[in-house]
Structures are given as C-alpha cells and as structure tokens.
Amino acid sequence: MLSSAIIDSGSGKIKGEVGGETFVEAQYNAASLEAKWQQKWIEQGLDKTQEHPQKPKFYALSMFPYPSGNLHMGHVRNYVITDVIARLKRMQGYRVLHPMGWDAFGLPAENAAMDKGVPPNQWTYQNIAQMKQQLQQLGLSLDWERELATCSPDYYQWTQWLFLQFYQAGLAYQKEAAVNWDPIDQTVLANEQVDNEGRSWRSGAKVERKLLRQWFLKITDYAEALLNDLDKLTGWPERVKLMQANWIGKSVGAYLEFPILGLEEKIAVFTTRPDTVYGVTYLVLAPEHPLTPLVTTPERQEVVKAFIQEISGQSEIERVAEDRPKRGILTGGTAINPFSGAEIPILIADYVLYEYGTGAVMGVPAHDTRDFKFAKENNLAIIEVIGSEAGCVSQAYTEAGIMVNSQQFNGMSSLEGKTAIINYAEAQGFGKARIQYRLRDWLISRQRYWGCPIPIIHCPSCGAVEVPEKDLPVLLPENIDLTGRGPSPLAKLEDWVNISCPHCGGGAKRETDTMDTFIDSSWYFLRFTDAKNDQEVFSADKVNDWMPVDQYVGGIEHAILHLLYSRFFTKVLCDRGLLKFNEPFQRLLTQGMVQGKTYFNPQKEGKDKWIPSTLVDKANPIDPQTGEALEMCYATMSKSKGNGVAPEEVIDKYGVDTARMFILFKAPPEKDLEWEESDVEGQSRFLNRVWRLVFDYLQKAPTPGETSGEKNLKRAIHTAIKEISEDLEGDYQFNTGVSELMKLSNAITEAKCYYSPVYREALEVLLILLAPFAPHISEQLWQELGQKTSVHCQTWPKFDENALKLDEITLVIQIMGKTRGNISVPANSSKEELEESARQSEIAQRYLEGKTIKKIIVVPGKLVNFVVE
Ligand SMILES: [Zn+2]
C-alpha cells in the first residue's frame, strides 16, 4: 500500500514510501519525457550540424514539404526514415547534415488567398509555423538553423541569380509555343506536369492547347548527359532510372527529306525504321506545320481549314492518346519517295504534333501497327518491304526481317538495311543518321502571382535585358488583388511593371510571368550547405564539401519531375564552374505509401462509394446513409477516402517513439505500409518492456547474485550489433532491425544475471542500438543508468567475432565401440549435426575407409559410435 507518492513529471517515476522504506517505481510516460528531451536537445544544441573537418561527411535529406499546414502520415514516414539514418551516421562517426525547409511557392497559397482573403504570404508563413511545430514533435534530429523557405526573398534572390546563369549560358529563352493550359488554375503547365489522361497534376483539369510566348529552359541540351549518367546512379532504384530513361526517350534512326511535287520545299521526317523506306505510301504533316497551307490544293482548302479548326482546341495528350482513333485527311498535295521515285499523297492528321521531331511522319502501313490501321481507314496503299510468312494482309508485320521490294537493298537484313539506307541517303543528299529524344525543353513560365519573379526587363529598343545583379532580388509586390482570372496578376500592377531599361534608360516593362515552382526545388539541397549566406548563392567550399547528398528520401511521384530537374540544374551549374560534381543525389530511397483501412459501399459508384472511417462502426460496418453492408480494403491515406490517421492522434495516445517504431517495423521502407492499430500497440508494449528491464535492473543490481547465462547474453549482444548494423547498411531494412532489438530484449529478459557486468553491458547496448529508432525513451533510460552524456553522442558499437561463437563440447568418436579419438563440436548441435560432424572428421575418415557403415549410434553431448560390416 502506498502511504505517499509523487509522480515526477519528467521521468514518470513514482517516488514514494511504504512502511517507512523509500522506493522508486517507474512508469513509462511517453508524452512528458518526449517533450522534456526535445527541449533539452535544443538547449544542448545536439542536432546542430557538426563541422569537424577530420570526420567524414554524410548528407541526409528528406524531400522538403509544401507547407499545406498539415502534416500527414506520409510526411511522418518520410522524415522518420531519414532521421534514423542521420542519427545512425552520427553515431558511426560521421559529421551529418540533416536540414529541413519549405517548398513554399505555389498555387494553393494563392487559391487560399482568394477563398479566405488572407494574403498568400501570411497564409504560407502561418502554415510553416504550424507544420514546424508538428515536425518538432516527431523528435527529428534536424538542424533548424539552416531552415529555408523558397518564398523568402533571401532565398529567391538566388533563384533569380541562378536563372540569370542559365540565361547567360543560352539555356533560358523565350518562344511562342503551343502550351498546356490549365483552365482551372489559369496557368500553363510543363509536359511533366500533365498526366497520361491529359490532366493537370495539380488541379486535375483537362488541359487545353494555347499559343503563348513563354520562357523555357533548354533541358534538351542535356538529354544525352541525363540519360548516360543514369548508369552512375548505382544507389537509385532501377524503376526510377527506367522512368527517367523512358521520359528522355532516346531513339536512333534517320532524318530523311521527301521532295514535294511542284514545290521547292521538302518534307523532313525522322524514322527509326529506315529499312522500311520503300514501303512509304504516304506522308503526314502536323496540322500546324508551316508546309500545310503550301501543299494543300485549292479544292481541299475548305476541308483542311475546318479540320485544323476542329483539332486546335484539343490537348496534345488527347491527340496522341493510344486508345483514340487517329483522324486524318488528304491535303491534295503529293510528295515523292526519293528512294523509289513513287508519288505519294500528303495528309494531315491529329496524331502528328508539330513540336515533336520534325512535325511530319512517313507512313509505312505494312510494318507499323498505327499506320496499318490508318491506311485501312483512309484507303491508302500498303506495300510489303520486309518479308514475312504471314504477309501484311490483316495486320502489320513489325519485326525485323529480310528486305523485299526494295530494289538494290533486297535480300539485306533489317539491321544491315538501316545502315545501308542511311549511307545511300547521305550519298544522294536526301538524308542522314540522327538521334532524337522525346524530352523537350522545360516550360517554366507561370501566369500566377505566388512564385519567383523572372528577373528580366523587356525594352522596346534593347529587347530582353537582365535585371542587374545589384538589383536582385526582384521583389514580389505585396497587397495584390488576386482574381484567378486573366493575365498574370503582376501584369496589372502598373507601378511595378513600368521601369527604365538598365541598358538605355528608356521606358521598359518587367517580365510578369513567375517561375515554375519546380525551379525553386531544383537547387534547395545546394543552399542547405550554406543556408545563411547573404553574399553569394553558396560558398564553393561548403557546397563541394557537403554535396552530393549521400541519402535522399522521398516519394516515387517525383521520379521524373523533381529528380530530373534537379539533375539538370546540377549539371548546368557544374558546367558553369559553380559545382565540382554533376549528380546531386548519391543514393535515393523512395518510401512506400501509408495505407489506411478504407471502407466502401460496393453498391455505389464514383467518389460517393468511399465512407470516411470516422462514420463507420468497425464492429458492424454499414453505410450510414443506406444501411448497406460495407467492404474494407487498404488504400493510400487521403482526404477523399476519409481513411487517414492523423499523426497527432497517434502521438497523443502512444507517444512519438511508438509511432516511429511502428512505422519502421511494419514494412520495409520502400514498400507500402498498412496502418494497423494493433501493431502500434505491439510496439508500445515493446517499449514498455524495455523500460521495465532497465528499472528492474536498477532495483536488483546492487545485490550480488546469479551470473550464469553470461556467455549466451554476450552472444546475444554481439549478434544484435552485427545484425542491426548490417540491416542499416545499404538497403536500410529497419523492420528486421527492430526484430533484432526485440530478440536482444528477450535475451536480456531470460538472462537473469543481474550481477554480471555483461548484464549491464547488454542494457547499454540495447539502448544505444535503440537510440536511432526511438530517440526519447532510449535517452531517458540511458540517463537512468547513470550516464552523463547523451545516448545519441555514443559511438555505434562494433561486434566481436569471438563472442558470436557458440560453446563447444568434446565429442568422442568410436568405431565398433572402441574410442579412436575426439573432436570439438558446437554445444547445441542436434543429433543429425553430431552424426555429420563425426562422419566428416579425419578420425572417422581414416578408420572407415573401404568399410560399409551398418549403423551409427549417437549419444548426444557425448559420443558417436560407428558400427561397420
Ligand atoms: Zn533599352
């Protein structure tokens, strides 16, 4: 019975007195001890970046978040993974850079401003403050002194400076282009930002085509380097590299020119199948191709005009969609196949885009599936030029083969033929070899307000003029009227727009487009190495010291967009002499999604079928509206499905350490994770067990007692060190790492040799190994053991090979009951293992040579007797 008791809010210990005796009883109170340590670590400066030049560096980085104001479970998983790595590397003797910042420009702030009347600036910084507080609750070992926000002038000043680097290198230019126009967000989008269905990555709106004068970055100049250097990225998932390679889309083939009957001009095409050129029976121009009006005959003019009009409103993606019928019409014009001399019709069709390749394609229906279908529908000739048994009557033959109907090339293989045709075309002056890429230049203009202003001034006499470096940053004006309609909101601010030309002093106008926010995130990892520098973008020494990022962690959704752009930026800045490396991310981990229990009504269609889990009685899941039975599945947590689990809910209930342990234990980091409350409880129980182990020890330690089981415990310690160290190397198998921690805690529970120094060692090692995973509880227990320095400042232990060895016993070997010698075998060998060891021994081999074994008698732990004929 308690006579009096006080709960110490810091440690959760209950101090009290029973019958005059003082006792200390411990209770694991996650909330109070986590808050306490987070505060202490800040005071101790534990998470500051260390600058010991003699230590090797390690740069651990999570993809920085957009400050939406709310941290979700996906964020938590991402940052916890990086945090474990950062903490581990510190303990392994590295100086670690582990920063955090905000990808803070973008449309949501502007939309919120329109909805709620809060200026984008204010909305963004409120969200940042809120999310920062949530992040700090996670116990992440982040160096907050390097925090940055891309919307802050001290950051975007350098974004503008970098833009000018691109401009000076001839890598930023303006051109009139048919662009992807998002009618909801009222802005253009880069190709990477439009999905396979032709919808905006952000608003989901069906993208339209519009002709506008836009800024581009010349990423195509780097197509080959971006493709080739994928081979260097040995620490990247294959799937991400493949996605980038496909996006860059290199194809090797021929550039050929077809004369036009009655005109000087020629129609240029690119083909990867020059071996089929004798099978060309028509040419197709993009409707927007400048030759279209020239080749169109007077009698076809009306029809052609109507056709062009009709498809002008369609997006590119729609036009090239695989599952859509291809539409085309004759222009009345005729071209000549320069190889065969044949006269062939010229068409225009929706599936040919002017921006791709040459804006014209050759039609080879016999050997191309799309062309075959198109030719059949439009009554165009089909000529077989690659021999096949089936011929090309009912479908195209698209494989390689032997050339036929191809004059002097007949009998050649497709492969030989490709080279021969290119050589012939080159000799005759109507073609050459060419490499083409699918990748196109990066459209970076946005007609929106909340972005980085493009530092260019347009002068009627001088043209586009750079804003002088001393005038950077071009500040984003405040107090702006946002309507979400019409041209860029900046264009309406006359005071801001009108300026004198830095060259001639005459009247000029500022560029009113802002930059794609993906530019802001294409270099933030460089700025973290020198985040507070107000003199230059970053110091060369610092950036070259810390970069490349050793471990980057983020979502697979950035496989192309952000990761490709960042690689491009790094390569350009390397070529400009600003960096000494040309790839930004050494290793990349793309963490899986966090999935929640998701209830749906199979009787309903569309969005309505998802029933938020808060409205569902888990014991009897029925639709609250209709009473129909619900089904359950796991799906990525999202607002629309109402299946999310709020991080703060879990943290309030179990503490951050438990949440971290669950996330790390439930699935390997790159796999999807199913949120399961019972498994969260399991981790909570485990941490409570560790807690008890330490307090039980503290109460029993002073009394001399049992020391047996030391050797087994020693082995368990070193097995854990070995296994966990290996699990955290390379692929970061945190889940098996947590299993090993559990095994060690079981071994300690079984050991009972409290008096032995090995027991204490076991507890200390357990806490050190646990520290990167569950930083708060391990720190608390470490201090309870009387340690003065932080557990996070301890050196990661190394395992002792000798301690891993099992105990050995002496096994007697007998032949026909007569002892012939003995061998050493592991103490815990099974009967079968003992027999096998005896058989393999030199003694047995010697005495049994040439004899047939009739029977083997094994007396476990003692002897093996061979009975022979
Ligand atoms: Zn001028």
Q: Given a cut of 90, is residue 363 above it in pLDDT? A: yes
* Contacts within 8 Å (CB) and 24+ apart, 482-486: 482/110, 482/113, 482/114, 482/120, 482/449, 483/114, 484/110, 484/111, 484/114, 484/186, 485/186, 486/186
pLDDT attached to residue 354:
86
Q: Given a cut of 70, is residue 40 above it in pLDDT? A: yes
- Cα end-to-end span (Å), the chain: 75
Provide the pLDDT confidence category of residue 560 given band limits of 50, 70 and 90.
confident
Q: How far is the CA of 269 from the centre of ligand 1 (A)?
A: 41
Give the mean pLDDT of 145-152: 97
pLDDT attached to residue 310:
86
3-class secondary-structure state, position 507: strand
Give the mean pLDDT of 593-605: 88
For β-strands 386-387 and 343-349, DSSP reports them as: unpaired
Q: Given a cut of 90, is residue 232 above it in pLDDT? A: yes
Q: How far is the CA of 465 from the centre of ligand 1 (A)?
A: 7
Contact 453, 268 (CB under 8 A): no
pLDDT attached to residue 4:
43
Q: How far is the CA of 464 from the centre of ligand 1 (A)?
A: 8
Q: How far is the CA of 160 from the centre of ligand 1 (A)?
A: 20
Q: How far is the CA of 507 from the centre of ligand 1 (A)?
A: 7
Q: How far is the CA of 375 from the centre of ligand 1 (A)?
A: 55
Q: How far is the CA of 445 from the centre of ligand 1 (A)?
A: 23
Q: How far is the CA of 506 from the centre of ligand 1 (A)?
A: 6
Give the mean pLDDT of 651-664: 95
Provide the pLDDT confidence category of residue 849 given band limits of 50, 70 and 90.
confident
Q: How far is the CA of 150 from the centre of ligand 1 (A)?
A: 31
Q: How far is the CA of 462 from the centre of ligand 1 (A)?
A: 4
Give the mean pLDDT of 718-727: 94
pLDDT attached to residue 5:
44
pLDDT attached to residue 1:
33
Where is average pLDDT lowest: 127-136, 456-465, 845-854? 845-854
pLDDT digits (tens, 9 = 90+) for 309-334: 888 777 777 777 777 788 999 999 99
pLDDT attached to residue 18:
46
Give the mean pLDDT of 518-528: 98
Q: How far is the CA of 508 from the centre of ligand 1 (A)?
A: 7
pLDDT attached to residue 25:
54
Dihedral Cα 160, 166, 170, 172, nearest 10 deg: -60
pLDDT attached to residue 3:
37
Give the mean pLDDT of 712-733: 92
Give the mean pLDDT of 593-611: 86
Provide the pLDDT confidence category of residue 704 given band limits of 50, 70 and 90.
low
Q: How far is the CA of 449 from the centre of ligand 1 (A)?
A: 26
Q: Which two tokens stand for residue 291?
A: 């030759």
Provide the pLDDT confidence category of residue 280 given band limits of 50, 70 and 90.
very high
Q: How far is the CA of 135 from the centre of ligand 1 (A)?
A: 49
SS (H, E, C) 108-143: HHHHHHHHHCCCHHHHHHHHHHHHHHHHHCCCCCCC
> How far is Cα 181 from Cα 317, in angstroms, rounded to an integer?
12
Q: How far is the CA of 573 from the centre of ligand 1 (A)?
A: 29
Where is average pLDDT lowest: 107-111, 302-306, 730-734, 784-788? 107-111
> How far is Cα 830 from Cα 846, in angstroms, rounded to an integer?
24
Q: How far is the CA of 460 from the centre of ligand 1 (A)?
A: 7
Enumerate residues with CB within 5 Å of ligand 1 (an ion). Answer: 459, 461-462, 501, 503-504
Residue 393, CB-side half-sphere exposure with 13 Å CA sphere: 3
Q: How far is the CA of 168 from the centre of ligand 1 (A)?
A: 18
Q: Given a cut of 60, is residue 9 above it in pLDDT? A: no
Q: Exposed, middle or buried, 14 (CB in 10 Å: 0-12/13-18/19+)?
A: middle
Q: Which two tokens stand for residue 73?
A: 């479970």
pLDDT attached to residue 474:
97
pTM reported for the whole predicted model? 0.84
pLDDT digits (tens, 9 = 90+) for 723-739: 999 999 878 999 999 99
> How far is Cα 664 from Cα 11, in angstroms, rounded to an integer?
25
Q: How far is the CA of 728 from the centre of ligand 1 (A)?
A: 59
pLDDT above 90 as % of the chain:
66
Q: What's the mean pLDDT when you consider all of the chain?
A: 90
Dihedral Cα 131, 132, 136, 138, nearest 10 deg: 30
pLDDT attached to residue 624:
86
Q: Which two tokens stand for residue 194?
A: 């439009």
Q: Given a cut of 80, is residue 89 above it in pLDDT? A: yes
pLDDT attached to residue 473:
97
Q: Given a cut of 90, is residue 38 above it in pLDDT? A: yes
